[in-house]
Amino acid sequence: MRVRKISEILRLRVFTDSGEYFGEIEEVNLNNNKIDGWRIKVDGSISSLIGGARGVIIPHQFVKAISDVVIISKSALPNRETSDFGGMAAED
């Protein structure tokens, strides 16, 4: 396992585990020196699903892999049939 600096992860592209492009890492949320979540600047097509927000905060538990790209669980995405969302919309 390779330890990476958070600065290396910022601006990485984010994809779902089903291969859909989601956006890119903008910030990391830390809680007691541990990663709590990731702020992701969303792609325009995803933005309409989350009420037009420019970004979302995905809890770290939904991150499946970090390498050249970040893979998140599809369950972190809003359900297209309902407005439920695994993460939180970020307005700024």
Q: What is the CA radius of gyration of the chain?
A: 12
Query: Which fold does the domain 6-77+86-90 belong to in CATH?
Result: SH3 type barrels. (2.30.30)
* pLDDT attached to residue 78: 61
What is the C-alpha to C-alpha distance for residues 23 and 20, in angstroms, rounded to an integer?
A: 10
Whether residue 14 is predicted with pLDDT greater than 70 in this model: the reply is: yes
Q: What is the pLDDT of residues 18-74, one digit of tens each?
A: 998 999 999 999 999 999 999 999 887 777 767 777 888 999 999 999 999 999 998
More confident residue, 1 or 15: 15
Query: For residues 79 and 4, which has the higher predicted lDDT (pLDDT)?
Result: 4
Above 70 in pLDDT, residue 82? no
- At residue 3, the pLDDT reads 83
Burial (CB count within 10 angstroms: exposed 0-12, middle 13-18, buried 19+), residue 25: buried
